[in-house]
Structure 1
Amino acid sequence: MMRKYEVIFILHPSLDEDAVKANIEKFKGVIENGGGTIENVDFWGKRKLAYEISKVNDGYYTLVHFNANPELPKELDRVFRITDGVIRHIIIKKEA
């Protein structure tokens, strides 16, 4: 059964443009290879963080809306945790 999710993640500001695009494609690939479908990818660009995280004050924000089975967010969370350059992420199940 497919459910609707959204994920927002913040990448480290020291990454260059190619590394940011590569990371976004990597996370899209995890969703698609896990049987999910991506509805929308919204790259917000470099923004100031609400508060300092590990002496970093800004980052690259990306919002992704996708449909997936209930197991996929666990795998996506694991990939976010082991990927260098990810400052923060959150995966939210949306009400249908």
Structure 2
Amino acid sequence: MHKYEIMYIVRPDLEAEATEAVIESFNNTLETQGATVEKTDKWGLRELAYDIQKHSKGYYVVLNVEAPGAAIDEFTRLARISEDIIRFITIRDDE
């Protein structure tokens, strides 16, 4: 298993409970695929450098995980089809 840093941006027009549900859902997806979520850092609502899908703000979340490749692939698949995530990036963080 490798260490990864995942950053994603949740749509700003969701209610606070819905935003928390999205974060919890993606954490659970990673954990059911055999990953360990070491840290969930919620940066909160921030201004975007440029509009993404007609949004000028977004709710930033950063995850530090230790996961097999299959878990990252499943996260990527779900993030691409989710309407609640407007942008994401996954970086392998092995030293």
Q: How many residues are treated as equivalent by the alignment?
A: 95
Structure 1 runs (4+) deviating above 4 angstroms are none
Specify the SS of the correspondent of 2:69.
Answer: coil
Aligned position for 1:24: 23
Aligned position for 2:83: 84
Matches of 1:3 and 1:54, distance apart in 2: 32
Matches of 2:87 and 2:62, distance apart in 1: 12
Matches of 2:70 and 2:91, distance apart in 1: 13
- Segments of structure 1 that go 5 or more residues without pairing to the other structure are none
Percent sequence identity is 39
Matches of 2:53 and 2:3, distance apart in 1: 32
TM-score by length of 1: 0.95
Matches of 1:67 and 1:30, distance apart in 2: 13
- Segments of structure 2 that go 5 or more residues without pairing to the other structure are none
How far did residue 95 of structure 1 move? 2.1
Matches of 2:74 and 2:68, distance apart in 1: 11
CA RMSD after TM alignment:
0.8
